[in-house]
Amino acid sequence: MNRGFATVLALGTLALAGCMNLACLPYCGGQLRHSSSLVDFLYPDGRLPAPGDEPPQLNIPLRVGLAFLPSANAQAAGLDEAHKQALLERIRQRFASRRFVADIVVLPDYYLQGQRGYAALNGVQRLYAVDVIALVSFDQQTHFDQNNWSLAYLTIVGAYVVKGSRHDVATLVDLAVVEPHSRQLIIRAGGTDLRHGNTTLIDAARATREANITGFDAATAQMIEHFDAALTKFEADVSSGTAPIRIVSKNAADHPGGGGALGGGFIALLLLALVRRAAFRA
């Protein structure tokens, strides 16, 4: 009698302490998802615009704004503001030396929280005087469950030594460059990461949080490599004249009377006219 009462009392104490959930053993589990959608942000009403007749115009070298899209959740698991800034800095350092880039400015994401769509991007574009805006979006899903070893959680020691908790973390990170004035997508690339782990009940929260952060790091690294390859192809298309955009040099635009704004044919005709005028006077 005393032994049975002691067992019930111990189980009740563990349950009240939050160390276990007797109702779902041995298949306890759940799912968390945190994401920010590029499509939902750019087109909050769900209507996609018709393709424009004129290609977007880029004034090079470009001043680029870089920002995380606001999460659909109040707080993204495993990705606080400090870590967001670190990831953005990795992207900025990787692409700041590109020949078409004059500067990359990291933008606070709270400028994009109050208003959605291209209206919000137009305001940020004017505020920071950027030509294009690079938007980072993500989707991370975390599945966690307790396997058959969870029965060992009936002992206090089991919560510390038995790896009865399992987590699976799938992460997608996407980078898209848009031109707000023409509402055109210029270039886009993404990276993914999938990881699994088993841990004890006591370490489950910490291990899942670390997996979330590591997943973001790995997906961002892959995205940077994919974007670098896409950007190299984009630069080659621009040089060959096959890119679906118009390129204008800022130096030529700022100094319309300079040589950079005059075509070779016009200059040749001008020189010919001067030569003829000099010969006529002689």
- Say if residue 201's pLDDT is above 90: no
Residue 2, in any domain of the structure: no
- Asked if 169 and 208 count as a contact pair (C-beta separation under 8 A), the reply is yes
Tens digits of residue pLDDT in 138-184:
999 998 887 776 667 767 777 877 787 888 999 999 999 999 988 88
pTM of the model: 0.74
- When pLDDT is cut at 50, 70 and 90, the band that residue 23 belongs to is very low
- Asked if 22 and 11 count as a contact pair (C-beta separation under 8 A), the reply is yes
Tens digits of residue pLDDT in 83-126:
889 999 999 999 998 888 999 999 988 888 878 888 889 999 99
Query: What is d(CA 50, CA 68) in angstroms, rounded to the nearest whole number?
Result: 26
Residue 89, in any domain of the structure: yes
* Of 152, 151, 166, 159, the residue nearest 201 (C-alpha): 159
* Tokens, residue 210: 């670390």
Query: What is d(CA 197, CA 204) in angstroms, rounded to the nearest whole number?
Result: 10
Percent of the chain past pLDDT 70, that is, above it, reads: 72
Half-sphere exposure for 66 (CA within 13 Å, toward CB):
23
CATH number at residue 86: 3.40.50
Residue 23, in any domain of the structure: no
Tens digits of residue pLDDT in 190-200:
999 999 988 88
pLDDT at position 73 is 64
Residue 217, in any domain of the structure: yes
Residue 280, in any domain of the structure: no
For the chain, how many structural domains are there in total?
1
Containing structural domain, residue 112: 29-244
Residue 186, in any domain of the structure: yes
Local structure of residue 21 (DSSP, 8 states)? -
Residue 194, in any domain of the structure: yes
Residue 163, in any domain of the structure: yes
